Structure 1
Amino acid sequence: MADSSKEELVQLIKRFGAYLTVKISNLLPISLQRLDSRSVGAVAGLAVAIVFTWRLLRSPSVPPRRQPKRQAGTPSSSSVSTHSNSTLVPSGGSSSLEDSRAQNVVDEFFQPVKPTLGQIVRQKLSEGRKVTCRLVGVILEESSPEDLQKQATVRSAVLEVLLEITKYCDLYLMERVLDDESEKKVLMALEDAGVFTAGGLVKDKVLFCNTENGRSSFVRQLEPDWHIDTNPEIISQLARFIKYQLHISAIRPERTAPNVFSAPTLEQFFGCV
Structure 2
Amino acid sequence: MANYSKEDLLQIVKRIGAYLSNKVSKILNTQDLRSVWAIAGFAVAVIFTWRLFRTPSAPRRRQPKRQPHGSSSSGVTGHLDANVLPSDIIDSRAQTVIDEFFQPVKPTLGQIVRQRLSDGRKVTCRLLGVILEESTPEELQNQATVRSSVLEVLLEITKFCDLYLMETVLDDESEKKVLMALENAGIFTSGGLVKDKVLFCSTEIGRTSFVRQLEPDWHIDSSLEISTQLARFIKYELHISTTKTDRIASNVFSSSSLEQFFSS
TM range (shorter): 0.7 to 0.9
Instruction: Give the one of 87, 91, 98 matched to 2:80.
Output: 87
| Aligned alpha-carbon RMSD (Å) | 3.5
- Match for residue 161 of structure 1? 153
CA contact (8 A) 1:152 1:185 kept: yes
- Match for residue 21 of structure 1? 21
CA contact (8 A) 1:118 1:164 kept: yes
- Match for residue 118 of structure 2? 126
Structure 2 residue 229 is the aligned partner of structure 1 residue 237:
yes
CA contact (8 A) 1:15 1:98 kept: no
Tell me the distance in 2 between the aligned counterparts of 1:55 and 1:158: 45
Alignment of 1:36-55 (within 5 A): 50-51=44-45, 53-54=47-48
CA contact (8 A) 2:126 2:221 kept: yes
- Match for residue 38 of structure 1? none
Tell me the distance in 1 between the aligned counterparts of 2:226 and 2:42: 55
How far residue 28 of structure 1 moved from its aligned partner, in angstroms, is 3.9
How far residue 52 of structure 1 moved from its aligned partner, in angstroms, is 5.3
Structure 2 residue 215 is the aligned partner of structure 1 residue 223:
yes
The 1:30/1:243 distance shift into structure 2, 3 A limit, reads: closer
The amino acid of 1:20's aligned partner reads L
The amino acid of 2:45's aligned partner reads V
Alignment of 1:42-121 (within 5 A): 50-51=44-45, 53-54=47-48, 74-76=68-70, 79=73, 83=76, 86-87=79-80, 94-121=86-113
The 1:108/1:234 distance shift into structure 2, 3 A limit, reads: same
- Aligned to 1:87, the other structure's residue is in SS state coil
- Aligned to 2:124, the other structure's residue is in SS state strand
Comparing 235-244 with 9-18, which one deviates more in the overlay?
A: 9-18
Structure 2 residue 144 is the aligned partner of structure 1 residue 147:
no
CA contact (8 A) 2:238 2:253 kept: yes
The 1:153/1:108 distance shift into structure 2, 3 A limit, reads: same
The amino acid of 2:115's aligned partner reads Q
Tell me the distance in 2 between the aligned counterparts of 1:200 and 1:51: 40
- Match for residue 248 of structure 1? 240
How far residue 21 of structure 1 moved from its aligned partner, in angstroms, is 3.0
CA contact (8 A) 1:19 1:103 kept: no
CA contact (8 A) 1:227 1:245 kept: yes
The 1:210/1:48 distance shift into structure 2, 3 A limit, reads: closer
- Match for residue 266 of structure 1? 258
The amino acid of 1:51's aligned partner reads A
How far residue 245 of structure 1 moved from its aligned partner, in angstroms, is 0.8
How far residue 4 of structure 1 moved from its aligned partner, in angstroms, is 5.0
The amino acid of 2:230's aligned partner reads L
Q: Percent identity?
A: 64
- Aligned to 2:170, the other structure's residue is in SS state coil
State the TM-score, normalizing by the size of structure 2. 0.82
The amino acid of 2:80's aligned partner reads T
Number of equivalent positions: 252
The 1:131/1:25 distance shift into structure 2, 3 A limit, reads: closer
The 1:236/1:7 distance shift into structure 2, 3 A limit, reads: closer
- Match for residue 34 of structure 2? none
Query: Which consecutive residues of structure 2, in runs of 5 or more, have no partner in the other structure?
Result: 32-37
**What do residues 63-113 of structure 1 show as CA deviations (whole Å, max 9, x unaligned)?**
x9xx9xx8xx74548947x9455426896x621111111111012112221
CA contact (8 A) 1:220 1:241 kept: yes
CA contact (8 A) 1:229 1:246 kept: yes
CA contact (8 A) 2:41 2:101 kept: no
